[in-house]
């Protein structure tokens, strides 16, 4: 039987709140090393997480990698003014969003009006919902408990005046969905779209992220203003993608 969720409990009690929430605090409260067998069950971060123990093990084992990836990607990137809509694809327990919102701080948090979370793991989605709600208590949050091939964003609650930030943290390298289909789903509304993606360099990460970048650039009606595809060394070798687009 899964143990109670320490992060949900801390948010519920107020120990984690909108004034103090951060990636480091979440990790210090939620991470736990349950041993080699639990680590093996993560399948190098590719498993669909089914228990709180797996969430905690992931935070322990892969939290530094995720934080390092996003630290490298977000350097030197300025966000557009005005309202922000966030869509987090395969959001897991909300680690990418935590890194993003830590990096830009209250200046971003106060402008987020809508958040959409896509995650096939129900238990991870519940934690991500709580994390995002603590960062952006005024935002409307919509949950999609589905895989990336199944999700439909045509009824997106995005405001017409909002720019959309698309977060893809260690998902583009997975072969469990069509990146072409996903790319087409990004642009369900007109306006400015910013794409942020990180992936380990191995396990076909470079090829899949690069192919996604090229496919987005080939879509009819999508104007690419800026594109930065980089292979870097942060916490570990990684590939990252940032694109500013408009439809």
For the domain that residue 24 is a member of, what is the CATH number? 3.40.50.150
Determine how many CB atoms are found less than 10 A away from the CB of residue 178: 11
Q: How far is Cα 158 from Cα 245, in angstroms, rounded to an integer?
A: 16
Q: Is residue 128 part of a domain?
A: yes
Number of compact structural domains in the chain = 1
What average pLDDT does this structure show over 187-195? 93
pLDDT of residue 202: 67
Nearby residues of 155 by Cβ (< 8 Å), 6 or more positions away: none
pLDDT of residue 1: 41
Q: Is residue 141 part of a domain?
A: yes
Residue 197: domain span: 6-246
Q: How far is Cα 120 from Cα 87, in angstroms, rounded to an integer?
A: 15
* Residue 31: closest CA among 52, 9, 2, 1: 52
Confidence class of residue 157 from pLDDT cuts 50, 70 and 90? low
Q: Is residue 64 part of a domain?
A: yes
Q: Is residue 203 part of a domain?
A: yes
What average pLDDT does this structure show over 214-237? 89
Q: Is residue 156 part of a domain?
A: yes
Query: Is residue 128's pLDDT more than 90?
Result: yes
Q: Can you give the pTM of this predicted structure?
A: 0.94
| Range with lowest mean pLDDT among 91-105, 123-137, 164-178, 227-241 | 227-241
Q: Is residue 129 part of a domain?
A: yes
**Tokens 């190098």 label which residue?**
44
Q: Is residue 1 part of a domain?
A: no
Query: Is residue 161's pLDDT more than 90?
Result: no
Residues 73-125: pLDDT tens digits? 999 999 999 999 999 999 999 999 999 999 999 999 999 999 999 999 999 99
pLDDT of residue 47: 87
pLDDT of residue 246: 95
pLDDT of residue 205: 63
Confidence class of residue 204 from pLDDT cuts 50, 70 and 90? low
- Residue with more model confidence, 217 or 200: 217
């Amino acid at each position: 039987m899964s143990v109670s969720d320490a992060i949900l409990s801390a948010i519920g009690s107020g120990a984690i709140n909108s004034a103090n929430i951060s990636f480091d605090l979440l990790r210090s409260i939620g991470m736990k090393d349950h041993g080699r067998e639990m680590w093996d069950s993560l399948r190098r971060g590719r498993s669909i997480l089914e228990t709180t123990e797996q969430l905690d093990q992931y935070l322990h084992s892969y939290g530094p990698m995720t934080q390092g990836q996003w630290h490298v990607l977000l350097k030197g990137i300025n966000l557009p003014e005005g309202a922000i809509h966030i869509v987090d694809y395969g959001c897991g327990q909300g680690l990418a969003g935590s890194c993003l919102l830590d990096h830009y701080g209250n200046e971003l948090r106060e402008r987020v009006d809508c958040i959409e979370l896509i995650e096939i793991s129900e238990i991870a989605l519940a934690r991500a919902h709580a994390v995002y709600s603590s960062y952006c208590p005024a935002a409307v949050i919509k949950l999609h408990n589905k895989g990336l091939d199944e999700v439909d964003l045509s009824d997106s609650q995005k405001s017409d005046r909002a720019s959309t930030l698309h977060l893809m943290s260690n998902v583009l390298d997975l072969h469990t969905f069509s990146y072409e289909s996903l790319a087409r789903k990004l642009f369900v509304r007109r306006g400015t779209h910013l794409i942020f993606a990180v992936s380990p360099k191995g396990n076909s990460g470079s090829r899949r992220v690069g192919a996604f970048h090229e496919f987005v650039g080939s879509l009819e009606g999508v104007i690419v203003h800026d594109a930065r595809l980089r292979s870097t060394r942060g916490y570990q070798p990684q590939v990252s993608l940032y694109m500013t687009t408009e439809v």
